[in-house]
Amino acid sequence: MIFGVSYYPEITPETEWAADLDRLREAGFTVVRVGEFAWSAFEPREGEYHFEWMDRFLDAAQARGLSVVLGTPTASPPAWLIAQYPQILVQLPDGVRLGYGERRACCVNSEIYRQFSVEIAARLGDRYGRHPAVIGWQIDNELIGPERPRLFECHCADCVWRFRQWLKRKYPSPQAVNDAWGLRFWSLEFSDWGEVAPPLRYRACPGHALDYHRFYSDSLAEYLRLQYEALRARVEARQFVSHNSTAVFDRGIDHRSFARTLNAVGWDAYPGAASAGHGPNPAATALAHDWFRSMLRRPFWIWETTPAAVHDAAFFAEMRARGAHAVLFWLWRTHRANMERGSRSFCDFDGKPYAARLRQVRQLRERLAAVAPSLPSPSPRAPAALLFDPDNVRAEHRLERRPMPYLEGVIRAYLPFWRHGVATDAAHPGDDLTGYRLAIAPGLRLMDEADARALERFVRDGGVLLIFGPAAHLDRHGVYYRRWGEPLSGLLDGVVQPETLPTEGVEIVTSAGENFVCRSGDAEIIRAPNDADILARFRSGPHAGSPAAFTRVVGRGHLFYAATSACAELNRRLARPATERAGLEWVEHAFDDVGVLVEPNGRGRWIFNHGNAPARVLGVEVPPRDFAFLASSAAGE
Ligand code: GAL
């Protein structure tokens, strides 16, 4: 596994670079990530470029055998750009314009900002596209970061214009837009393209909001593509072009569309960052690893994590096991000035390394090299697929509730599989699922008919499908189906009432007589098909008597359907038979914070103990915050 660090030569005295590079090299780091915020150092005034300092830095790295990933600095536009072209600033829905003073102040749809971004990327590409130390590029930095407000999308004049163009490609006329979204209500109809505006209010029409979220996600991908093309045309083929995504999944961003234009993907895996408000949640982090690995089906980068995590071997083992071929720490050295000076690093202000922290990194590196010396590429297909659809985030985006019900359901559905060994890829419900034995479809409230048909085909052809409701209530315009669940009628008899009901405190009884209580969430009132085997019923609340879960044979496959994902115990009781029906191994244990991964290539099993107490799993005692790898032969095969 490659180990590397972020470093900021532009804020470090040049006289200290050599010692820093020697020390980090000696500590075993081989990659340095630089430049992603250095726009004002590269171009202090419009058109005046200064690259000599970076030339010297790269040569110093090269002399020490270090590889460099170079960032394009567009996440931090300099003051001159903002002062001279204030129209490039993001305009939030409430009319507030961002301004000088933070990162990400400029709109990716602004033509002027796009041109300046492409220009600086091209200049860097011309200058360093052949530099032997540069192995790759990172475009921008965290296009969507946790720092941006929830309704983060810009509404500036360029956005309005591009949104209209985007809609014109999708709909033949403004009348078609009115019909698709249902705009006659409240007299929101458009009579001309020139009236079409972004959705400003929280209670904007759902179809309108959905399309704006999609448009904005496409705009981000387009912005990446422009820089990608500028670089790709200039840099050697051996240099990859990437972007550091975040696992911010609650904005309706399609990270996968970013990947389609890039040569490598990766994300900034800070402990707990992926959990969208759930607190540190190792399963959510694992799911993000699965998601990024599945995008290009290749080993991925961890572009950033914190040195504060180095004591947590389970955290690093899990990223490796799920396909990370590199981990870069943020950052090597903290600085005395600036707003991120409190960050964790490997050295003190003078650049003197903390010996204990580096010892921990070394141990980590050695242990991982011993159990997972290399990763196959392409990554082997996992036997199971977890279906995730950003449209379902978009459909809930304007809810006040955080965490979002959809994301909560996704993580709850994933949890038992994460705990008990089932390797999963992340896929979109519209993907070809051929080759998977098991598919898990949590909370696809918005589901179009083509996706529903594909799911049905998957089961008829012999797959095992586990659906957690709410499912198939809305079409892609955010319009309700006449009968909820209708697109899934080949699998399900339908949802009885077009309402989801809250589950907090509602009791469930399984066919084996076990009683469980639901947590907060939503449940459907469903009717099970006649040939279904009812696995659980609601025992109390407005759902009393109706099925909570059933299973049935469909074609050559099996369907498991749960009306809710709000009962963790029920989820587990469905996940196990679904796994076993799919012919996959289920590793039983009783530890909430322990994840197990059976490697899809049959090499062995990983146990990750993310808890604070030792855990005995598969006959092995795993200390807290630690891991074990059992090679298949050692596991008695
Ligand atoms: C990341 C970001 C870095 C730095 C870091 C601090 O999200 O990409 O630039 O701000 O957080 O932890």
- pLDDT tens digit string along 360-381? 999 999 999 999 999 999 999 9
* Cβ–Cβ under 8 Å, residues 584 and 422: yes
Closest ligand 1 atom to the C-alpha of 36?
A: 9
Distance in Å, CA 501 to ligand 1 centroid: 39
> Distance, CA 397 to ligand 1 centroid (Å)?
24
- Please report the pLDDT score of residue 276 as a whole number: 62
Ligand 1 centroid – CA 364 distance (Å): 23
Ligand 1, atom 5: closest residue by C-alpha: 330
Whose CA is closest to atom 3 on ligand 1? Answer: 330
Task: With a cut of 90, say whether residue 400 has pLDDT above it.
Answer: no
pLDDT of 247 strictly over 90: no
Task: Give the mutation target among 142, 303, 333, 343 for probing the ligand 1 site: most ligand atoms within 8 A of CB.
Answer: 142
pLDDT of residue 355: 97
150 Cβ neighbours under 8 A, 6+ residues apart:
250, 251, 397
Q: Who wins on pLDDT, 616 or 202?
A: 616
Q: What CA–CA distance (Å, rounded) separates 390 from 250? A: 9
- Could you give the 3-state DSSP secondary structure of residue 517? strand
Atom of ligand 1 nearest to the CA of 75: 9
How many whole angstroms from 71 Cα to the centroid of ligand 1?
13
pLDDT of residue 501: 92
pLDDT tens per residue across span 31-87: 999 999 999 999 999 999 999 999 999 999 999 999 999 999 999 999 999 999 999
SS3 348: coil
Mutate to test the pocket of ligand 1, among 304, 333, 343, 344 (most ligand atoms within 8 A of CB): 304
Please write the tens of the pLDDT for every residue from 406-452: 999 999 999 999 999 999 999 999 999 999 999 999 999 999 999 99
Cα–ligand 1 centroid distance for 154 (angstroms): 22
The chain-wide mean pLDDT, for the chain, equals 95
Write b or e for each residue in 541-577: b if 16 or more Cβ atoms lie within 10 A of its Cβ, otherwise e. bebeebbbbbbbebeebbbbbbbbbbbbbbbebbbbb
Ligand 1 atom 10: residue of nearest CA = 340
Identify the residue whose C-alpha is closest to ligand 1 atom 9: 141
Residue 180 has pLDDT above 70, yes or no: yes
Checking if the pLDDT of 637 tops 60, the result is no
Ligand 1 pocket: which of 69, 138, 140, 268 to mutate (most atoms <8 Å of CB)?
Answer: 268
pLDDT for 145 equals 76
d(CA 350, CA 328): 21
C-alpha–C-alpha distance, residues 498 and 442, integer Å: 18
State which ligand 1 atom lies nearest to the alpha carbon of 270: 12
Residues with CB under 6 A from ligand 1: 141-142, 145, 268, 304, 330, 340, 343
> How many whole angstroms from 309 Cα to the centroid of ligand 1?
15
In 3D, which of 182, 115, 113 has the Cα closest to residue 479? Answer: 182
- Residue 48: Cβ-neighbour burial (10 angstroms; 0-12, 13-18, 19+): exposed
Number of Cβ within 10 Å of residue 201's Cβ equals 12
Whether residue 554 is predicted with pLDDT greater than 80 in this model: the reply is yes
Question: What mean pLDDT do residues 528-546 have?
Answer: 95
The pLDDT assigned to 321 comes to 98
Of the chain, the percentage scoring pLDDT greater than 70 comes to 98
Give the pLDDT score at 202.
80
pLDDT-derived band at 235, boundaries 50, 70, 90: very high
Report, as an integer, the average pLDDT of 473-495. Answer: 94
The catalytic residues are: 142, 304
Report pLDDT for 635. 46
Q: How many other CB atoms are there within 10 angstroms of residue 418's CB atom? A: 26
Q: How far apart are CA 239 and CA 79, in angstroms?
A: 31
- What domains are there in the chain, each with its CATH number? 2-149+220-371 (3.20.20.80), 384-581 (3.40.50.880), 594-631 (no CATH)
Lowest model confidence (mean pLDDT) among 240-254, 268-282, 598-612: 268-282
Q: pTM of the prediction?
A: 0.97
Candidate from 57-66, 145-154, 547-556 with smallest mean pLDDT: 145-154
What is the pLDDT confidence band of residue 279, given thresholds at 50, 70 and 90? Answer: low
Greater model confidence, 239 or 149:
239
Residue 278 has pLDDT above 90, yes or no: no
What percent of the chain stands above pLDDT 90?
90
Q: Which one has a higher pLDDT value, 633 or 15? A: 15
Kindly indicate the confidence band of residue 249, based on its pLDDT and cuts at 50, 70 and 90: confident
List, for residues 587-623, the tens digit of each pLDDT value. Answer: 999 999 999 999 999 999 999 999 999 999 999 999 9
> Which pLDDT score, from 0 to 100, does residue 185 have?
96
Ligand 1 atom with the smallest distance to the CA of 244 is: 8
